[in-house]
Amino acid sequence: MSEQRPRILAVDDTPANLRLLEAMLVPRGYDVVTASSGAEALEKVHSDPPDLILSDVVMPAMNGHELVRRLRAEEATRFVPIVMITASADQERVEALEAGADDFMRKPVDQIELMARVKSLLRVKQFHDTVERQRAELKRFLSPQIADLITSPEGQALLNGHRREITVVFCDLRGFTAFSETAEPEEALAVVRAYHGAMGPLIVEHGGTLEHFEGDGMMVFFNDPVPMEQPVLAAVRMAIAMRDRMNELIAQWRKRGYELGFGCGIAVGYATLGRIGFEGRYDYGAIGPVTNLAARLASEAKAGQILISQRAFAMIEEHAEVEPMGEVAVKGYSRPQAACNVLRVKEPVASG
């Protein structure tokens, strides 16, 4: 299969200039699409984004500067390389660059210079596209927040380690160990896949960061690496959505004779977060007592319960309806820990 030819959009209100650009570029391996105005160019960019844009500056209705500003204002077209072409002097060049153009050429266009600039900017575009593909691939294996973090310039400092207050959610399936001891491996794997498939979208929807999943257990935290205004409330909303979804799955499993349940533990506290592992195999993890407390609360939760620590409940008391559980003996803690079972979240009443 032949490699796809780079696609260039040429924008100019003078047909002769468009024909000249086509004559220069097409024989050298580029597909050229033309537009005679800024408005037409926007339509063509949105319908089939080009790899590079060559635009005249002086055009009626919408000039080249306005075209560039509109393209730079949209996420989908923010990084499309744009070269401005005009017969004007240096001031026009400054205005073009300030508008967001990547490069500038004077008329009449020199063919050798044009080819050099096109090749250079297409290399930059190719690099950007490669990074975006890698980021999309990373999101198949990592939480979206972590994938964005490790591909961002500012991410290195966070990866090296930092301290922050986070809300941790730990959840797992009640009865899974006993089930897996007697079930066929294919049955156990099908249950785990359905479980992960149901939980994953809910984690993303509520802005959680999946730290890890292992068998039927998974740990999610909130407020890192992306800070949130109400991380405890977001965590509780996610846990309730998980419980509701799991009730549907559990009902289906019960028809097959699978006796399984779902439990959650939620705690809030400070942790050290960053890259952990070794060369060739790193994870982004959280270390601190808060992770242990969430895990212990989850292990104490009965099927259908979401046990939340006293400190976490105090942060959302006005938003949640809970069932006090008194002090719960938590393994690994010298003293019992006060906990509540979350029943529901109180939705705000719309003003009439």
Summarize the confidence of residues 155-170 as an average pLDDT: 80
For the entire predicted model, the pTM comes to 0.61
Q: What is the pLDDT of residue 51?
A: 92
Q: How many CA atoms lie within 13 A of 319 on its CB side?
A: 13
On the question of pLDDT at 253 being above 90, the answer is yes
Q: Which of 81-95, 116-130, 297-311 has the lowest mean pLDDT?
A: 81-95
Distance between CA 42 and CA 24 in Å, rounded? 23
Mean pLDDT of the chain: 85
Q: How many CA atoms lie within 13 A of 270 on its CB side?
A: 3
Distance between CA 81 and CA 79 in Å, rounded? 6
Using CB atoms within 10 Å of the CB of residue 299, give its burial: 0 to 12 exposed, 13 to 18 middle, 19+ buried. Answer: middle
Distance from the Cα of residue 67 to its chain's centroid: 29
What residue segments make up the domains of the chain, in order of their start?
A: 7-138, 160-345
Where helices occur in 183-288 by DSSP H, the ranges are 185-205, 231-255
Summarize the confidence of residues 240-246 as an average pLDDT: 95
On the question of pLDDT at 77 being above 60, the answer is yes
Which pLDDT band holds residue 230 (cuts at 50, 70, 90)?
very high
Query: Nearest Cα to 72, choosing from 92, 47, 53, 91?
Result: 53
Looking at the structure, give the CATH architecture of the domain made up of residues 7-138: 3-Layer(aba) Sandwich (3.40)
Give the β-pairing of 337-345 and 320-328: antiparallel
Q: What is the pLDDT of residue 305?
A: 94
On the question of pLDDT at 167 being above 50, the answer is yes
Q: How many CB atoms lie within 10 A of CB 315?
A: 18
Return the higher-pLDDT residue of 162 and 45: 45
Q: What is the pLDDT of residue 2?
A: 43
Return the higher-pLDDT residue of 102 and 266: 266
160-345 placed in CATH 3.30.70.1230: yes
Q: Which of 136-140, 309-313, 330-334 has the lowest mean pLDDT?
A: 136-140
Which 8-state DSSP code applies to residue 4? P
Q: Are 53 and 41 in contact (CB under 8 A)?
A: yes
**Three-state secondary structure of 81-104:** CEEEEECCCHHHHHHHHHHCCCEE
In the chain, pLDDT over 70 holds for what percent of residues? 86
